Chain A
Amino acid sequence: MTEAITAHELRDRVKRGDISAEEATRAALDRIEAVDGRLRAFLTVTPEAALDQARAVDAARRRGDRLGPLAGVPVAVKDNFCTEGVRTTCGSRILENFVPPYSGTAVRRLAEAGAVIIGKTNMDEFAMGSSNENSGFYPARNPWDLDRVPGGSSGGSAAAVAAGEAVVAFGSDTGGSVRQPASFCGVVGLKPTYGLVSRFGLVAFASSLDQIGPLTLDVTDSALALQAVAGHDPLDSTSARYDPPDYLAAIEGDVKGLRIGIPREYFGEGTEPAVEAAVRKAIEVLVGLGAKAEECSLPHTDHALSAYYIIAPAECSANLARYDGVRYGLRAAGAEDLADMYAKTRAQGFGAEVQRRIMLGTYALSSGYYDAYYLKAQKVRTLVRQDFERAFAKYDVLVAPTSPTVAFKLGERAENPLAMYLADVCTIPVNLAGLPGLSIPCGDDGGLPIGLQLIGRALDEATLLRTAHAYERAVGFTPRLAPADPAAGKGGRA
Chain B
Amino acid sequence: MPITKDEVRHVAALARLQLDEAAVERMTGQLGIILEHIARMNRLATEDVEHTSHTLPAMGNVVREDVVHRGLDRDSALANAPAREGPFFKVPKVIEDQEA
Contacts and interface: CB of A to CB of B under 8 A. Distances in A.
Interface of A: 97-99, 101-102, 194-195, 208, 234, 237-238, 240, 300, 302-303, 305-307, 309-310, 317, 321, 324-331, 335-344, 346-347, 350, 355-356, 358-360, 362-363, 366, 372-373, 375-383, 385, 417-418, 421, 432-434, 458
Contact of A317 (B15, B18, B53): B15
B55 A194 contact: yes
Contacts of B76: 101
15 contacts: A99-B80, A194-B55, A303-B44, A306-B37, A309-B37, A327-B89, A350-B17, A355-B17, A359-B12, A360-B34, A360-B35, A366-B10, A379-B46, A418-B33, A458-B57
B72 A101 contact: yes
Contacts of A309: 34, 37-38
B61 to A, nearest CB: 9
A44 to B, nearest CB: 16
A324 B16 contact: yes
A377 B41 contact: yes
Given A341-B91, A346-B16, A385 B52 contact: yes
A494 B24 CA distance: 38
Contact of B82 (A195, A331, A377, A421): A331
A191 B62 CA distance: 24
A327 B79 CA distance: 9
Contact of B55 (A98, A339, A458): A458
A378 B51 contact: yes
Interface residues on B, range: 35 or more
Given A328-B81, A381-B52, A347 B92 contact: no
Nearest to A365: B14
A291 to B, nearest CB: 27
Given A306-B40, A362-B14, A208 B53 contact: yes
Contact of A379 (B39, B49, B64): B49
Nearest to A354: B17
A360 B31 contact: yes
Contact of A358 (B17, B50, B54, B77): B17
A382 B16 contact: no
A137 B15 CA distance: 24
A25 B55 CA distance: 39
A362 B11 contact: yes
A418 B17 contact: no
Contacts of B34: 309, 356, 360, 417-418, 421
Given A237-B62, A302-B40, A362 B15 contact: yes
Contacts of A433: 55
Chain A CB within 10 Å, residue with most, of B10, B54, B56? B56
A375 B17 contact: no
Chain A CB within 10 Å, residue with most, of B8, B18, B53? B18
Given A346-B15, A350-B17, 9 more contacts: A102-B72, A238-B59, A305-B37, A310-B38, A325-B82, A327-B81, A327-B89, A339-B16, A385-B52
A347 B19 contact: yes
A329 B11 contact: no
Nearest to A333: B82
A344 B89 CA distance: 18
A342 B16 contact: yes
